[in-house]
Structure 1
Amino acid sequence: MPRFFIDSPPVDGKAVVTGEDAHHMLKVLRMKAGESLILCDGQGHDYSCTFMQANGDTAECQVQEVLPSQGEPNVRVTLYMGLPKGDKMDFIVQKAVELGAVEIVPFLAERSVSRPDAKTLRKKCERWRKIAREAAMQCGRGCVPVVGEPLTQKQAAEQAATCDAPLFLYEDEREVGIRQALRGKQPRSVALMIGPEGGFAPAEAETAKQAGMQSVSLGPRILRCETAPLAALSVVMYETGNL
């Protein structure tokens, strides 16, 4: 069943879809009066609706039932991702949203190969936010995860350290695994900091430690920068009962 987000809750049992979503409904899906769809207000509510009619470039819908969204985990996971090269971040954002991340924050690491200028980075962030929205609709999320403004590694570590479980995924960690760090705990918020190609420089590991993050390992194998966040998110969701 088609699923879209709306900017504000329905009024008097009626909801209006605008913008690109309305265009998709009317021009791509060519929905007809009486067809069913799901609208989500981004605040944890799903509205089972019937498409009524098009009014210019907007779509008017009748609410049939209100239900709590089922697609949100009970733990808030923020992914802090070192800027990778090419279009790898597109894939990372999409899959992180599917796995339950509530926020993705890119940061510039010492070993980041990609170093776009401010204008290019703004365009990339706009693209990542669009990808996050589309992924949220596809996988049944109850909100659209945020793609935050790019930070330095120090800023990202300091922000991540405010979470209940701030985890620094470090390839040189030999003692503590990510499951060990989470086992027996029920954190309300988790931060995952993952480096770009080439991992973290030793100075960055020290910066994360001084900020209050815990260094953890994902195991004996070195994962690609686009694989590591998916593995880490899967572990967090499993250990917290969300997978």
Structure 2
Amino acid sequence: MQRYFVDQTTEGRFVIEGDDFRHIVKVMRLKINDQIICTTSKGEGAICQIAEITDEQVVADVVQWEVVSSELPVRVTIASGLPKGDKLEWIIQKGTELGAYSFVPVATARSVVKWDEKKADKKVDRWQRIAKEAAEQSHRRIVPTVITPLNLAKLISLSKDYAYKLIAYEEEAKQGERSTLARTLQEMKNDESILIVFGPEGGLTESEVELLSQEGFQPCGLGPRILRTETAPLYVLSAISYQFELLR
């Protein structure tokens, strides 16, 4: 059953317009009485039955509100050093499927890609659309937010809102460090937040790691193997899911 995030709701009815309307009518070719899942901006989901289809909108009536949530019990923000090509799109898509709460692109010293302010709005809109489509596919209750890329100073300012802060650092992995991530996840409680920083292809510099460490970030290894920039966030999200969803 297809899920849609809908802003317009009135007394047990959802009104779907725009791209989602076209997806329902043109792609899915759904008809009156077919069922879909609609989710509000507050993360409340409901099985709905299509009641009306006009030239511009689909109206669906609530049949049953969802009780079980598909969201991770903790809020995970992935801060990724800007990578080359479409790697960030991959991180956003797969990270959304694995339960990430938000994404923060970061311009770091070794980021090959240079952020073009002239194309900023279109780029962020595309990233947000990828997150929305992945959230619908994976039956999330929320759409993760993707913000405009930050520099390290602004990331540090943002980090003050988080209970836990980690740096995925390959030098720690090379030295056999394996306890920080596990210990952090064991300490965390439901509804707490964690911000995890990942470097671009060339990794974070020693000075960047030192600066972040001075601001309360803890460097951690991700096992004995060195992971690619697009693989490391998915590894961590999988570990968090195992800790908070499979073990409990």
Normalised-by-shorter TM-score class: over 0.9
Find the aligned partners of 2:113 and 2:91 in 1 and give their Cα distance: 15
Provide the rounded CA distance (Å) in 1 between the counterparts of 2:206 and 2:46.
49
Aligned residue type for 1:219? G
What one-letter code is carried by the residue in structure 2 that aligns with 1:230? L
1:236 aligns with 2:227: no
Output the CA distance in 1 between the equivalents of 2:135 and 2:127: 12
Separation of aligned partners in 2, 1:209 and 1:160? 12
**Alignment RMSD:** 1.6
Q: Do residues 201 (structure 1) and 205 (structure 2) align?
A: yes
What is the aligned-residue identity percentage? Answer: 38
Which residue is 1:5 aligned to?
A: 5
Match of 2:84 in 1: 85
Match of residue 220 from structure 2: 216
Please say if residues 120 and 148 of structure 2, whose CA atoms lie closer than 8 Å, have aligned partners that are also in contact.
no
TM-score w.r.t. the length of structure 2 is 0.92
- Rounded to whole Å, the distance in 1 between the matches of 2:120 and 2:43 is 31
1:100 alignment counterpart = 99
Map of 1:23 onto structure 2: 22
> Where in structure 1 do 4 or more consecutive aligned residues deviate above 3 Å?
174-177
AA aligned to 2:83 is: P
Give the SS at the match of 2:115: coil
Contact 1:158 1:211 in 2 (8 A): no
SS, match of residue 245 in structure 2: coil
Give a deviation string over 1:10-30, Cα, whole Å, max 9, x none: 322221101100011111111
Q: Distance in 1 between matches of 2:68 and 2:79?
A: 25
In 1: Cα distance, 2:123 partner to 2:165 partner: 26
* AA of the residue aligned to 2:77: T
Letter in 1 for 2:47: S
| Aligned mates of 2:92, 2:103 — CA distance in 1 | 7
Alignment coverage as a number of residue pairs: 242
Secondary structure of 1:74's counterpart equals coil
Q: Any unmatched runs of 5+ in structure 1?
A: none
Q: Give the structure 2 partner of residue 225 of structure 1.
A: 229
Instruction: Give, in whole Å, the separation in 1 of the partners of 2:225 and 2:156.
Output: 24
The 5-angstrom pairing of residues 64-83 of structure 1 reads 64-68=63-67, 70-83=69-82
More displaced stretch, 40-49 vs 178-187: 178-187
> Equivalent residue of 1:97, what SS?
helix
2:178 pairs with 1:179: no
- Per-residue CA shift, 1:181-205, capped at 9, x if unaligned? 3224326111111010010001100
| Conserved 8 A contact 2:103-2:144 | yes
One-letter amino acid of the structure 1 residue matched with residue 245 of structure 2: G
Greater alpha carbon shift after TM alignment, 222-231 vs 11-20: 11-20
TM-score (norm 1): 0.94
Larger deviation, residues 66-75 vs 139-148: 66-75
Q: How big is the shift at 1:79?
A: 0.6
